[in-house]
Amino acid sequence: MTHPSLEELEAKLQEARAVGGANRASPEQLRLLREVARECPAFTPNLLELARLLLLNEEAGVSADAAFAEVQRLLEQAVRGSKRNPVAVLELAHFLDAFRNVPREAEKLYEEGAAGALKLVEESWTALLDLWTGENTRESLGKALELAALAEKVFPESGDIMLAVVTARNYAARAGLMDAEEA
């Protein structure tokens, strides 16, 4: 069997939305999403969407226990399939915290999610600082200085951030954008 193409997957998700709702799911919508989950167990957006809808909707003839077991399986699959992407990790954490009453397990996952997300913020801020510093205009350096003030407070231990911050300030000083004492 050939794997469905990205276009086919997107079309199926759209079709599912069309036969259901954003929050109120129809049986046909859930059937379609489950089919995608079976065909593409690593397609994380679908797993998260299906889990969310199963939490918001009661299905006729499905016990609460069975529903929660399916949600947990989907979320665990999303965490694995996305190589522990912070978004998926956080969804599993919320679920364990709210519905399974296991705060210690949730805590570990919240911490993992926060660390992953912070890493992304650190990387994006470093890249933005470098980009704006390199552009070296009054406007771009102004933005770099504003971000630099925030970034050094949040990531004082980050070599990437601190180098980008001092570099931005050097550029700004040379461009005459800083008072002597600031530079």
Partner 1 sequence: MGAVEEEEEQVRFKGNTLAARIWVLIGNGQFVEAEALIAEGTAAGLLSKPQATRMLEKISQLNTRLGDIPASVQRAPDFPSQLKDYTLFEIDQMLQRQDFSIAAKAQLMMAKKLIKEFPRLLAK
Distance of alpha carbon 141 from alpha carbon 129, whole angstroms: 9
Cβ nearer to partner 1, comparing 67 with 178: 67
CA pair distance 124, 53, nearest whole angstrom: 32
Taking CB under 8 A as the criterion, which residues in 36-65 touch partner 1?
Answer: 52, 55-58, 64-65
Residues 81-140 that bind partner 1 (CB under 8 A): 94, 97-101, 103
Tell me whether residue 5 or residue 14 sits nearer to partner 1 (CB atom). 14
In the complex, the smallest distance separating the C-beta of residue 52 from partner 1, rounded to whole angstroms, is 6
Q: Is 22 in the site for partner 1 (CB under 8 A)?
A: yes
Cβ at position 104, least distance to partner 1 in Å: 12
Q: Which is nearer to partner 1, 106 or 161 (CB)?
A: 106
Nearest distance from C-beta of residue 132 to partner 1, angstroms? 21
Query: Site for partner 1 (CB under 8 A): how many residues?
Result: 18
Closest approach of partner 1 to the CB of residue 135, in Å:
23
Q: Tell me whether residue 94 is exposed, middle or buried, using C-beta atoms within 10 angstroms of its C-beta: 0 to 12, 13 to 18, 19 or more.
A: middle
Contacts (Cβ under 8 Å, ≥6 apart) of 166:
none
How far is residue 73's CA from residue 175's CA, in Å, rounded to a whole number? 56
Q: Which is nearer to partner 1, 49 or 144 (CB)?
A: 49
Q: Which residue has the tokens 């003030």?
A: 149
What single letter denotes the amino acid at residue 42? A
Measured in whole angstroms, the distance separating CA 25 from the mean position of its chain's CA atoms is 24
Tokens of 4: 């469905």
Q: Are 148 and 165 within 8 A, CB to CB?
A: yes
- Residue number, 18 or 127, with CB nearest to partner 1: 18
The residues that touch partner 1, with contacts defined as CB under 8 A, are 22-23, 52, 55-58, 64-65, 67-68, 94, 97-101, 103
